[in-house]
Amino acid sequence: MSVFSGKAFWLWAWIAVVVIAILAVIQVLRVNPPAPEPSAGPPVVRYTDGTVIDGQISVPAADILSYPIRLNRTAYLKGEFKTGSQKVLVECLLLDTENFVKWKHGDEPKALVRTGKVPAGLVNSRLAAGEYHLVFDNRHSTEQAVNVAVSFSVD
């Protein structure tokens, strides 16, 4: 009796399909391992060290950009910003978290640094351990975004 005749042929074809399906499942599982389960421990707090921001930013019209700073020690925030034109103004503020929330709700904050609306500025401030926000404010300009070259770091 030939392997290619009758029931024997279909038995071998069925076995080949099952083997190929098993190999395909193994390959899919090997290439796509299950995602690791998140740890049940407390969230990891990352503290700011070194560069806070360096490069070109765009502060949207009538809006702000805020960069969080978390310190677990006393440090110095040093930096500079420049709009590139004497006619283009932006305000830079450094606020602790409590005053940042007040400021966002329209209350007058007690800012650690407040440059006023200027085309460029330098910041050099000693900060205690805590959470702060470096803010670039363009709410006074309702028509155009402001491009600002910035370089700030924590030492």
The kind and range of the H/E element at 127 are strand 120-127
Class of domain 50-154 as given by CATH: mainly beta
Distances (CA, A) of 19 to 9, 26, 129: 16, 11, 63
- Work out whether strand 75-82 and strand 146-154 pair parallel, antiparallel, or are unpaired: antiparallel
pLDDT at residue 77, rounded to an integer: 97
Q: Worst-scoring range by mean pLDDT, 35-39, 101-105, 124-128?
A: 35-39
- At residue 138, does pLDDT exceed 80? yes
Model confidence, pTM: 0.72
- Span 56-92, pLDDT tens digits: 999 999 999 999 999 999 999 999 999 999 999 999 9
- Other Cβ atoms less than 10 A from the Cβ of 43: the count is 6
Q: Which two tokens stand for residue 120?
A: 């460029």
